[in-house]
Amino acid sequence: MRSLYRGRSRLVILMMAMLCVTLLTSCKPKEPDWSEEYVLEPHVIRTYQSEDWVWAGDPSRAISPDGKWLLVSQYGMSKSILAVPLKAEEGQDAQGAQSGNSQVPTPVPMTAAAVEFKTEADRAQLLPVGWLSDSRCVFLVEGYHDQPPHKGQTGVSVLSGNVADGAVEEISFVPIPEGQLREASIFPSSNWLVLDAMGSIWTVDLGTGEARALRKLEVPDYSGLFTPKVSPDGTKCVYASDGIGSGQGESGLCLLDLKTGKETLLARNDDELHLYPEWSPDGKMVATYTVDRRSGTTGAAWSNFEIYPGDDAPMAWGTAIRVLDLSGSTVKEISVEDKILGLFKWAPDSKSLAFLAARKIPAPDIDGNWEVVMPSPDSVVISSVDPSERATTIADLGQQAANTSTGYLSSYVVGFDPESKGVFYETLNEEAWLIWYRAKGKTGIQSEPDKPVIVAEGPWHHTPSIPAFKEQGKSFVAFITGSGPKLSMYLAGPTAIRNVANWEGLTSVIVAYDEKTLVVSTFTDVYSLSVYEMHSPARRTP
């Protein structure tokens, strides 16, 4: 009897424990596990009103690792940095609407809900950078400091803010007496910050606060021609040098190790000039435009090369696109007969590039005559970096233009889909502004092999990097299109195109994103901020 009683007691205790767990889980909303059983069903979970445009620096690094906070500043509101909550407050349900439903959360003032990090700087500019942890953010005070502790100095104060108590702590100070900060890149995994201060490169150890001036480039600014490009892992940077700043006194592409300060010449400007280098996403290669030297010239001056001048700097067009590895060896030389190539974009898998091709026109003589001659793109091309594979034209813009009465005025490569199968590109004429998609062969959204399809009516609202999201067996990029007052958001990939949201506004920009969230700023008669939860537990796949 005693053993049976004990067995029943244990059974009752176990059943009561299971009941308690069930009651607790039914009372509190479950956090979705974001596994493949959930689908992309974007819906607004929070809306804010702001006093001006919201700026977050790098959109891919503006959201805290736990997805709860957005780090931003407001134009015209330069005395504070804000950490804006993205999720519903504790004990409250996220009020939102599924796509196509008109119900959205009531907007609240952004400054009232945010944690505000204040400084005493009146004349300096505050810039958000990113996150070191779930609660610790990094931002900069850049310019002339008129308050202690750096009163009378010009430079960059690197600050850390804690969302738990709003406390602000200085990590480091970088003196920059001349020039101004052009770019800041944060690498949380290594506690590393890289600053490009218009000619000088600094690294800051965010753990110790040690700041090191690695290179004084001593090159002109010229709208980013000589801007150092930091590698995806933050260990190196590459830049174009006119020979004044490089250790060898030579002109070409230079590679700088940000840990050791060692500089090497990747490619010398001899018979070609190298322009606008860009890292492959895997950080193993660099692609750059090349233009030929003018006959009978010597030296590194721009006038000695067949560049295509823009308003105040060479345009991103060249005779060829050269892909280099980090030893300076040529992986592939990409060229198209009788064409010049421009506006290239790397594929996410680092295996190919997409670019525009235009009929080769004589480069204007810029020696005393800075005349802008715009190339007229006639095709969109994909080229593998594999030397054995030939470039493939995926869109004949001339043929597409023949179907309109006005022809194309311009075109632009938006970028690859997340699976690197095809390319989104934009065309504009007096009749329409369109976004197209085209892949080699046949994909899910192309009705016929090799046939371009219209994704949406433009214009595409440009963003520094294109957000990507996944659901079962599908990958999508998110982008905003349309001319006010009608704007739309699309998810598009090689297997499907979805119009997921529509709203009224004069213009919208993507402020921030991670794998679960998308934040959009819109201006109508007021400035607003909408937080989209991209993965939804509300609808399960069959």
Q: In this structure, what is the dihedral angle of CA atoms 192, 201, 278, 158, given to the nearest 10 degrees?
A: 40
Q: Of the given ranges (177-181, 278-282, 294-298), which has the lowest mean pLDDT? A: 177-181
Number of domains in the chain: 1
In this prediction, what percent of the chain has a pLDDT beyond 90?
39
DSSP string, 121-160: -SSSEEEEEEESSSSEEEEEEEEE--STTSTT-EEEEEEE
Residue 103: the pLDDT is: 62
* Residue 268 β-bridge partners: 252
Residue 22: the pLDDT is: 36
Q: Which two tokens stand for residue 89?
A: 């407050």
Residue 310: the pLDDT is: 78
Residue 81: the pLDDT is: 92
- The Cα–Cα gap between 82 and 101 comes to 30
Q: Of the given ranges (143-147, 179-183, 326-330, 358-362), which has the lowest mean pLDDT? A: 179-183
Q: What is the mean pLDDT of residues 525-538?
A: 86
pLDDT at 501 over 70: yes
What does the pLDDT look like over 369-388, one tens digit per residue? Answer: 666 677 889 999 999 999 99
Question: Is residue 275 a part of any domain in this protein?
Answer: no
pLDDT at 418 over 50: yes
Question: Is residue 346 a part of any domain in this protein?
Answer: no
Q: Of the given ranges (5-9, 194-198, 409-413), which has the lowest mean pLDDT? A: 5-9
Residue 384: the pLDDT is: 96
Q: What is the mean pLDDT of the chain?
A: 81
Q: Please choose, from the candidates 119, 32, 85, 111, the residue with its C-alpha nearest in 3D space to the C-alpha of residue 535.
A: 32
pLDDT at 25 over 50: no
Q: What is the mean pLDDT of residues 265-282?
A: 92
* Model confidence band, residue 464 (pLDDT cutoffs 50, 70, 90): confident
Question: Is residue 517 a part of any domain in this protein?
Answer: yes
Containing structural domain, residue 534: 395-542
- The Cα–Cα gap between 499 and 108 comes to 27
Q: Of the given ranges (78-87, 398-407, 427-436), which has the lowest mean pLDDT? A: 398-407
Question: Is residue 90 a part of any domain in this protein?
Answer: no
Residue, of 306 and 473, whose pLDDT is higher = 306
Residue 222: the pLDDT is: 43
Question: Is residue 140 a part of any domain in this protein?
Answer: no
What does the pLDDT look like over 58-101, one tens digit per residue? Answer: 999 999 999 999 999 987 656 689 999 998 654 444 444 333 44
Residue, of 95 and 512, whose pLDDT is higher = 512
Question: Is residue 421 a part of any domain in this protein?
Answer: yes
What does the pLDDT look like over 316-367, one tens digit per residue? Answer: 999 999 999 999 999 999 999 999 999 999 999 999 999 999 998 887 776 6
- The Cα–Cα gap between 390 and 381 comes to 10
Residue, of 462 and 316, whose pLDDT is higher = 316
Q: Which two tokens stand for residue 257?
A: 């190790």
Residue 541: the pLDDT is: 46
Residue 227: the pLDDT is: 75
Residue 366: the pLDDT is: 66
Residue 228: the pLDDT is: 82
Residue, of 525 and 300, whose pLDDT is higher = 525
DSSP string, 35-90: -TTEEEEEEEEEEEEESS-EE-SSGGGSB-TTS-EEEEEETTEEEEEEEEE-SPPT
Residue 538: the pLDDT is: 57
Segment of 152-166, 215-229, 428-442 carrying the highest mean pLDDT: 152-166
Residues 221/240, Cβ–Cβ less than 8 Å = no
- The Cα–Cα gap between 132 and 189 comes to 8
Residue 34: the pLDDT is: 53
Whole-Å CA distances, 425 to 127, 281, 483, 528: 32, 20, 17, 28
Q: What is the mean pLDDT of residues 121-126?
A: 78
pLDDT at 423 over 70: yes
pLDDT at 247 over 70: no
Question: Is residue 538 a part of any domain in this protein?
Answer: yes
Beta-sheet strand order (sheet of 54-55) = 54-55, 69-74, 77-85, 115-118
